[in-house]
Amino acid sequence: MAARVHIRHEMAIRRLTVSHIEQLTPSMVRVTLIGDALNDFASSGPTDHVKVFFPDPVTGVLTVPELRGDGIHRPTSGVIISRDYTPQQFRPAPFGAAELDLDFVLHSPTAAHGNPKDPAGGGPASAWAAAAQPGDEIAVAGPRGSREAPQDVAEAVLIADETALPSFTRWLDLLPETTRITALLDVADEEVEPYLSAEQLARASVEWLYREDGPGQLEEAVRSLELGPDVYVWAAGEASALIPVRRYLKHEAELRPDQLDVQGYWKRGVVNRDHHEPIDPSDPD
């Protein structure tokens, strides 16, 4: 049984300031946030997420819900724009400014450093990250809870596209050293590879799959894995691409529910997809 302990965190909505921007690859940027509100930030699960609130691209005004004793309240005016992101690294600083890193995939072709290789993309979060400057303000809600990495599995398979690479790096940090990790990383092309350090690459047996080489590679790679009876599999990325992967793992490989976690982090053509929706409506969890 691959048990993942669940911890709840007190809800907080934090207004934060951009302190640093780092272009990690041509299509990924790391935004470092600071602010006193981070002092009690906590995130201990590899798949934790925060809700990030962005300024209205038309007016530049940042509208954020208010947290009061009786719950979360929407302001009476302003446009709320929010998307889900992974707290990739949090550096508490007892005597200085705590820092939170969020890694953004740039998929907006119209953004300053947008990815021209994905002309179908575009969205306020990606556009904001591509143009972000030190001093810019955003707000971050959560995480509401953390589902910790299982500490009792001998073998884990991690499947991720670019949006799930921040979670993937957290898995590498949070799985016990005794867990053998196989990773299938489904990315646009080889330009994404520098996202991972040599140390991170050494922690897992990594196979890179380039979408520019054609469709169907991910399913084929998953089908060719030799899965042990108690393997734990986590997969996250574009929801439609994960449907055949999930079908195979659930129905043909017959993994138990506690061995399998498949999450649609976004869906082609869908704005701000709710990740609580089943990735395969014909076969929900």
Ligand X SMILES: Cc1cc2nc3c(=O)[nH]c(=O)nc-3n(C[C@H](O)[C@H](O)[C@H](O)COP(=O)(O)OP(=O)(O)OC[C@H]3O[C@@H](n4cnc5c(N)ncnc54)[C@H](O)[C@@H]3O)c2cc1C
Residues that bind ligand X (CB under 6 A): 49, 83-86, 103-105, 107, 118, 121-126, 163, 166, 265-272, 275
Residue 103 or 186: the one with the smaller Cβ distance to ligand X is 103
* Smallest separation (angstroms) from ligand X to the CB of 270: 5
User: Hunting for tokens 């042990």 — which residue is that?
Assistant: 228
Compute the distance between CA of residue 140 and CA of residue 143 in angstroms, rounded to an integer. 9
Q: Is the dihedral of CA 115, 120, 125, 128 positive or negative?
A: positive
- Pairs from 150-154 (Cβ < 8 Å, separation ≥ 24): 150/2, 150/3, 150/4, 150/175, 150/232, 151/3, 151/176, 152/1, 152/2, 152/3, 153/2, 153/179, 153/230, 153/231, 153/232, 154/178, 154/179, 154/180, 154/228, 154/230
| Helix (H) and strand (E) counts in the chain | 5, 16
CA dihedral of residues 134, 140, 145, 150 (deg, nearest 10): -30
Q: Which amino acid is at 111?
A: A
Q: DSSP letter for 187, please.
A: E
Of the pair 155, 280, the CB lying nearest ligand X is at 280
Nearer to ligand X, 253 or 278 (CB): 278
Closest to ligand X by CB, 31 vs 222, is 31
The residue among 223 and 268 lying less far from ligand X, judged by its C-beta, is: 268
Residue 60 CB, shortest distance to ligand X, in Å, is 16
Residue 199 to residue 172: CA distance in whole angstroms: 10
Which residue's Cβ lies closest to ligand X? Answer: 123
Output 14 or 267, the one with its CB closest to ligand X. Answer: 267
Q: How far is the CB of 250 from ligand X (least distance, A)?
A: 20
Q: Return d(Cα 61, Cα 284) in angstroms, integer.
A: 38
Q: Which is nearer to ligand X, 255 or 279 (CB)?
A: 279
CB of 104 to ligand X, least distance (A): 5
Q: Which residues contact 267 (CB under 8 A, 6 or more apart)?
A: 238, 239, 240, 273
Among 221, 285, 226, 230, smallest CA distance to 259 is for: 230
Q: Kindly state the smallest distance separating residue 208's Cβ from ligand X, in Å.
A: 17
Least CB distance to ligand X at residue 236 (A): 7
CB of 115 to ligand X, least distance (A): 8
